[in-house]
Amino acid sequence: MQNVTGSLIGMYHICHRELWLHANHVRMEHNSDLVAEGKQLHEHAYPQRAERYREMILDGSKIDFYDPYNKVVHELKKSDKLEHSHVAQVQFYLYLLRKNGVEGATGLIEYPKLRQTQTVHLDDSELPVVENWIQEIERIVSSEHCPGRIEKSRCRSCSYFEFCYAEEE
């Protein structure tokens, strides 16, 4: 079983099929203009960020920007359309920090294009919720069968769209 990562947490909150495919090494991100745009944003939105903050790997999950002095996880996103998955991803990072002895950390989701930020916390009451996400992800990923497609309008912009909607003869 592979480690649960922040990316898998985000996918869990959006589409279980994408989660299963990605975790089982069926990758389509290299074909996605939106993924490329997100990487560009990450590299160029705050060029001084890499000098001030650290990249941190905890339990196989990579936190791109962590401010160790103020204990703040910074997560960049290009749009707030799937905000609930962004919050879950940052809560997962806060969970990992706490699990590794870092108490009192907070998260900050930054939407540079929108010029907005959102603060994220992880309360004691939310720890079992995050642990449940992890268990559910492990269950989905280890299944022999790929979950069905979800038929949402957001599917059109997904890097797996053609994979999911290709009709077999």
Residue 126 within any structural domain of the chain: yes
Residue 67 within any structural domain of the chain: yes
pTM comes to 0.84
Q: What is the CA radius of gyration of the chain?
A: 16
Residue 114 within any structural domain of the chain: yes
Residue 1 within any structural domain of the chain: no
Query: Structural domain of residue 159, as residue ranges?
Result: 6-165
Residue 74 within any structural domain of the chain: yes
Residue 71 within any structural domain of the chain: yes
Q: What is the model's pLDDT at position 16?
A: 93
pLDDT tens per residue across span 29-87? 655 445 445 455 555 555 565 566 778 888 888 888 899 999 999 988 877 777 899 99
Nearest by Cα to 92 from 117, 113, 109: 109
Residue 70 has phi, psi (to 5 degrees) of -100, 0
Tell me what the mean pLDDT of segment 153-169 comes to. Answer: 75
The total domain count for the chain is: 1
Nearest by Cα to 74 from 86, 84, 66, 82: 66
Q: Is residue 91 within 8 Å of 50, Cβ to Cβ?
A: no
Share of the chain above pLDDT 70, in %: 82
Q: Is residue 87 within 8 Å of 109, Cβ to Cβ?
A: yes
Residue 106 within any structural domain of the chain: yes
Q: What is the model's pLDDT at position 35?
A: 46
82 burial type by CB count under 10 A (0-12 exposed, 13-18 middle, 19+ buried): middle
Q: Is residue 118 within 8 Å of 84, Cβ to Cβ?
A: no
Tell me what the mean pLDDT of segment 84-111 comes to. Answer: 95
pLDDT exceeds 70 at position 105: yes
Out of 16-20, 33-37, 144-148, pick the least confident. 33-37
Q: Is residue 12 within 8 Å of 91, Cβ to Cβ?
A: no
CATH number at residue 50: 3.90.320.10
Share of the chain above pLDDT 90, in %: 47
The confidence band for 137, taking pLDDT boundaries of 50, 70 and 90, is very high
